[in-house]
Amino acid sequence: MRRFVAGNWKMNHGPVEAAHFIEALPPLTDLRCVTVIVFPPAISLPAARAALGSSSSISLGVQGVHGEASGAFTGEIAAGMAAEAGATYALVGHSERRTLFHETDEETGGKVAAAQLAGLTPVLCVGERINERKEGRLEEVIVRQLDAVLGSEVVGDRIRAGVAFLLAYEPVWAIGTGKEATPSDASQAHAILRRRVGHWLGSDRARELPILYGGSVTPANARGLLAAEGVDGVLVGGASLDPGSFARIVELARELC
């Protein structure tokens, strides 16, 4: 079974450090069944691309895109520009974007559409806050976030037509806190999401849709999470900043193939 290991560097590793990271990465061998993606800051994409070389088995992604293809949006990055700079994936709806930058469910829908239009594979992040979880609203929250994207006819039609799309379940209370979800918490949320994907896209597409878990993944807990029912990969923040620990997580994924 194919597994995904993605590293979200957030606002870390500028162009010089990005190149150093890639030079320091231990060789990742036999990646036939593991897709490895790194999300550097957008400004580091060209340096990362150059350091990887053209034959690399590591893909690059952008951490965020604007919903429009161009225009008067000072400071923003269009999906097509990220593609030109070497990205093939785009994170959309990360909880830090939703919370710190007030991105709405509607905006995530527009960003997924823009990423698809530019040929990037969107990785839609959804997840509940701790108070929502305690109030028993896990399903309500993650389904609402998913529906805002898959309920769009244009996005749904593209995915049904075969355009790639990934989902990441990232409980907000687990991000950057050192308190990862248990493998069974992850499986439970992934099952909810997969059922809902089936509602929009049909059960065949739902069965094969990769759903990654993210939130305090480390080399110490990655094996259990990667082996959990319905978990197709991990989205790693803090532990992806160190080449050795990122490579170790990739290795753990490879061992499970």
Can you tell me which of 22, 189, 226, 236 binds ligand PGA, judged by CB under 6 A?
Answer: 236
Interface stretch with ligand PGA, choices 98-106, 152-160, 196-204, 237-245 (CB under 6 A): 237-245
Is 132 known to be catalytic? no
Nearer to ligand PGA, 81 or 175 (CB): 175
Using CA atoms, how far apart are residues 116 and 159, in angstroms rounded to an integer? Answer: 9
Least Å distance, CB 11 to ligand PGA, is 12
Task: Assign 27 to helix, strand or coil.
Answer: coil
Q: Please, which of residues 108-167 interact with ligand PGA by CB under 6 A?
A: none
Using CA atoms, how far apart are residues 215 and 8, in angstroms rounded to an integer? Answer: 11
Interface stretch with ligand PGA, choices 25-33, 55-63, 137-145, 170-178 (CB under 6 A): 170-178
Q: Which residues, in sequence order, are CB contacts of 148 under 8 Å at separation 6+?
A: 105, 106, 108, 109
Q: Is 72 buried (19+), middle (13-18) or exposed (0-12) by CB count in 10 A?
A: exposed
Can you tell me which of 61, 109, 122, 214 binds ligand PGA, judged by CB under 6 A?
Answer: 214
Strand partners, 38: 7, 60
Q: Is 41 in the site for ligand PGA (CB under 6 A)?
A: no
Q: Is 8 in the site for ligand PGA (CB under 6 A)?
A: yes
Nearer to ligand PGA, 236 or 253 (CB): 236
Q: Is 175 in the site for ligand PGA (CB under 6 A)?
A: yes
Count of CB atoms within 10 A of residue 239's CB? 20
Is 102 known to be catalytic? no
Contacts with ligand PGA: how many residues (CB under 6 A)? 13
Using CA atoms, how far apart are residues 139 and 170, in angstroms rounded to an integer? Answer: 13
Least Å distance, CB 238 to ligand PGA, is 4
Catalytic residue among 13, 66, 94, 190: 94
Residue 171 near residue 186 (C-beta atoms within 8 A): no
Where are the extended beta strands (E) located within 179-249? Answer: 211-214, 233-236
Using CA atoms, how far apart are residues 62 and 78, in angstroms rounded to an integer? Answer: 10
Interface residues toward ligand PGA, by CB under 6 A: 8, 170, 175-176, 214-217, 235-239
Q: List the catalytic residues.
A: 94, 170
